[in-house]
Amino acid sequence: MFHGLSSAIWNRTTGGRVYIYHPGTPHVLPVATMLSKLWTLGHKATSPVAPPLAPGTASASVEEPYSTGEFSIDDYRPIKVICIGAGFSGILCAIRFQQKVPNLDFKIYEKADGVGGTWHANRYPGAACDVPSHCYQFSFEDQSQWSGLSSTGPEILANIERVVDKYKIRKYINLQHELTHAKWDAPSGKWTARIRHGAEEFEDSCDVLLLCIGSLSRWQWPDIEGLKEFGGTLVHSAQWDVGDGAWEEGVKTWGDKTVGIIGNGSSGIQIASAIHPKIKRMVNYARGRTWICPSFGTSSTFASLGRDPNDTRRTFTAEEREKLKDPQCFKEFRHATEHEMNSFHALIIRESDLQKGARMNFEASMKQDTADKPGLLEKILPQWSVFCRRLTPCAGYLEALCADNTTYETTPIKRVTRTGIELTDGRHDDLDVLVCATGFDVSYHYPFDIVGRGGVTLNDRWTPYAEAYLSLAVDGFPNMFLVYGPGSGLNTASILVLLENQVQYVVKAVQKMQRERVKAMEPKKAATADWTEHMRAYFPKTVYTDACNSWYKAPDGTVVGLWPGSALHAIRTLANPRWEDYEYESIEKTRNRLHWLGAGDTENERTKTGDLAWYLDTPDVPPIPE
């Protein structure tokens, strides 16, 4: 009997126990259980039983003897990576892939005519970051000479350009090249990307596709009747043409102009604060209310600079900047600032003490700052919690709204006319300039098709909601990773913390593909569903689900754009990928999952080159216990 069964059994020894694969049974079973099953199967048990194969792997007969590969374990296969977008995310990918992935062919296609993404596109008056400048740069960068706590757009862009040159990554970047279509080809395990460059369109293919296209990069005109009929100057905040100069140059002649600004999000607030002293009259049209962050004292983080903690100045003095040139001083200052920023996470938890305290302080400060304009506070103070919408620390906005030449208009807009704006109550404002600070298409429905397995498009996969496993990979879209995709936003920290950790994760995935000779990997459907279920359970505990409008929510209020936790939580999550949450397909048609171990040697040994004791270079020296 046992002799007859032997061909039906493919056994292997694991930790001293013998296991048997059984057809139709997804799990391995101990021998005793297995034998009784086979006994009851009768004659079926006599045919050969193949072990389960990785999805997409051609069936291999168990009777073929296994033979090892002829390659060395670190003979990394060539890998071609196409990255779309040259903002912070794409630039970071270029830096890290160049550093960490051998045998690499890397390309960036960027549709704009410059690098920098958000900071290349947004040159409007007052554009600035809303997190401390020293933290709005990569962790490995050390620009210390920022003009202020929230540096201006041109400074941020100049720093991005500096980093691009420092790490010599311009060679990878193709400007004015727009991705118009991408399609996965399962047999070859490659993506084919269609790229538009001027009038020309061509195809390029790759093993791995990185989408670094930003969440706030698809600017759009608001859907208001008559907008295009406006006879004055019409401008969108994300398309403010400054030519080669600064925005101040462009508005020099606006002293006699009446300017309408639609929107009171971050851009609208910054534009209003910056231009109101330079124009005749300003009307800010606001659909919703908003919290305005008080001007805090500069807190203990400024102690190393010798500043009075009650000082609310947001710019650095020449003396402070000089001190920050000292690497130790810079390091301490940045560390303290980032530590402080990361201490705010509890603010977003509903009913937390920090949230209650913030509400009290913000309300008191807004009351004080609007005292000069009776009725303004009632129009602008939100019911919803602080931080439900992203907060903009914008010194000067309430001051601008209180100015005599300013109107804060909450009556809805009926239509745009040739000469201005007509409101639903019949009033009309004559305007010379109309600024649409109305934001971006944040639907995560991209204006191009990404076609995954079985011809399914990403836009279809993301209907009704965009979802990406751990914010960076999508089932059905193998070898594709997103940086700053859905689930990536952070409201209480610098987004760069998250971007760096996402990129680190993606690099590890691609290293794994090279090392283990993986042709295709994608997250399991069930793992993605678990992530989404986790998000849905997490956000109701936060203030994000209050009744505010925000770019990170779907129209029905479902939070799709934010990470479910703090920045520190994201770092810990992404540090140790759960590779078991992915499906894999190998390059070689082999039944042995360890085929990538190869012939048993390394490249240095095989080619008789290089250092053969490299492991001594970075020994992990344990501390000696007390």
Ligand X SMILES: Cc1cc2nc3c(=O)[nH]c(=O)nc-3n(C[C@H](O)[C@H](O)[C@H](O)COP(=O)(O)OP(=O)(O)OC[C@H]3O[C@@H](n4cnc5c(N)ncnc54)[C@H](O)[C@@H]3O)c2cc1C
Cβ-in-10-Å burial (0-12, 13-18, 19+) of 256 comes to: exposed
How many residues of this chain bind ligand X (CB under 6 A)? 32
Residue 431 near residue 259 (C-beta atoms within 8 A): yes
Find the part of the chain contacting ligand X (CB under 6 A) among 122-130, 201-209, 328-336, 449-457. Answer: 122-130
Residue 130 touching ligand X (CB under 6 A): yes
Helices 495-515 & 88-100, crossing angle to 10 degrees?
A: 40
In this complex, which beta carbon is closest to ligand X, that of residue 197 or of residue 379? 197
Residue 479 touching ligand X (CB under 6 A): no
Which residue in the set 212, 272, 305, 348 belongs to the binding site for ligand X (CB under 6 A)? 212
Residue 141 touching ligand X (CB under 6 A): no
Residue 292 touching ligand X (CB under 6 A): no
- Element spanning 521, H or E: strand 518-523
Cβ 566 to ligand X shortest distance, Å: 14
Cβ 136 to ligand X shortest distance, Å: 6
Which residue in the set 81, 164, 216, 435 belongs to the binding site for ligand X (CB under 6 A)? 216
In this complex, which beta carbon is closest to ligand X, that of residue 45 or of residue 128? 128
**Which residue, among 288, 281, 286, has the nearest Cα to 429 in the 3D structure?**
281
In this complex, which beta carbon is closest to ligand X, that of residue 94 or of residue 388? 94
Cβ 237 to ligand X shortest distance, Å: 7
**d(C-alpha 357, C-alpha 438), whole Å:** 30
**Which residue, among 463, 460, 483, 461, has the nearest Cα to 473 in the 3D structure?**
483
Residue 204 touching ligand X (CB under 6 A): no
**Diameter over CA atoms, the chain:** 101
Residue 478 touching ligand X (CB under 6 A): no
Residue 341 touching ligand X (CB under 6 A): no
Q: Residue 287 CB: number of other CB atoms within 10 A?
A: 14
SS percent in the chain: helix, strand, coil, step 5: 35, 20, 45
Which residue in the set 163, 179, 398, 527 belongs to the binding site for ligand X (CB under 6 A)? 179
State both tokens at 469: 């496993």
State both tokens at 524: 């399991």
Cβ 118 to ligand X shortest distance, Å: 4
Find the part of the chain contacting ligand X (CB under 6 A) among 206-214, 223-231, 521-529, 600-608. Answer: 206-214
Extract the runs of DSSP E, i.e. beta strands, from 64-160.
79-84, 104-109
Residue 263 touching ligand X (CB under 6 A): no
The count of C-alpha atoms lying within 13 angstroms of the C-alpha of 496, restricted to the half-sphere facing its C-beta, is 21
Cβ 211 to ligand X shortest distance, Å: 8
Which residue in the set 71, 83, 87, 338 belongs to the binding site for ligand X (CB under 6 A)? 87
- Contacts of ligand X in 418-457 (CB under 6 A): 448
Which residue in the set 126, 132, 189, 214 belongs to the binding site for ligand X (CB under 6 A)? 214
Which residue in the set 266, 438, 457, 586 belongs to the binding site for ligand X (CB under 6 A)? 266
Whether residue 464 is preceded by a cis peptide bond, meaning omega within 30 degrees of 0, is yes
Find the part of the chain contacting ligand X (CB under 6 A) among 87-95, 326-334, 505-513, 606-614. Answer: 87-95
Cβ 122 to ligand X shortest distance, Å: 4
End-to-end CA distance of the chain: 63
Which residue in the set 138, 285, 484, 539 belongs to the binding site for ligand X (CB under 6 A)? 484
In this complex, which beta carbon is closest to ligand X, that of residue 130 or of residue 546? 130
In this complex, which beta carbon is closest to ligand X, that of residue 209 or of residue 421? 209
The count of C-alpha atoms lying within 13 angstroms of the C-alpha of 86, restricted to the half-sphere facing its C-beta, is 27
**Which residue, among 105, 102, 107, has the nearest Cα to 85 in the 3D structure?**
107
**d(C-alpha 517, C-alpha 514), whole Å:** 5
Cβ 124 to ligand X shortest distance, Å: 8
Residue 81 touching ligand X (CB under 6 A): no
**d(C-alpha 380, C-alpha 371), whole Å:** 13
Which residue in the set 34, 79, 81, 84 belongs to the binding site for ligand X (CB under 6 A)? 84
In this complex, which beta carbon is closest to ligand X, that of residue 189 or of residue 439? 439
Find the part of the chain contacting ligand X (CB under 6 A) among 112-120, 248-256, 313-321, 518-526. Answer: 112-120
Radius of gyration of the chain (CA): 29
111 Cβ contact list (under 8 Å, min separation 6): 176, 177, 178, 179
Which residue in the set 34, 72, 76, 85 belongs to the binding site for ligand X (CB under 6 A)? 85
Q: Write out the DSSP string of 387-411.
A: TSSPPB--TTHHHHHHSTTEEEE-S
586 Cβ contact list (under 8 Å, min separation 6): 54, 57, 516, 517, 518, 519, 593, 595, 596
In this complex, which beta carbon is closest to ligand X, that of residue 110 or of residue 429? 110
Parallel, antiparallel, or unpaired: how do β-strands 208-211 and 79-84 relate? parallel
Residue 298 touching ligand X (CB under 6 A): no
- Torsion angle defined by CA atoms of residues 163, 496, 484 and 348, in that order, rounded to the nearest 10 degrees: -160
Which residue in the set 5, 53, 112, 377 belongs to the binding site for ligand X (CB under 6 A)? 112
List of residues contacting ligand X (CB under 6 A): 84-90, 109-112, 117-118, 122, 129-131, 136, 178-179, 212-214, 216-217, 266-267, 448, 483-484, 494-495
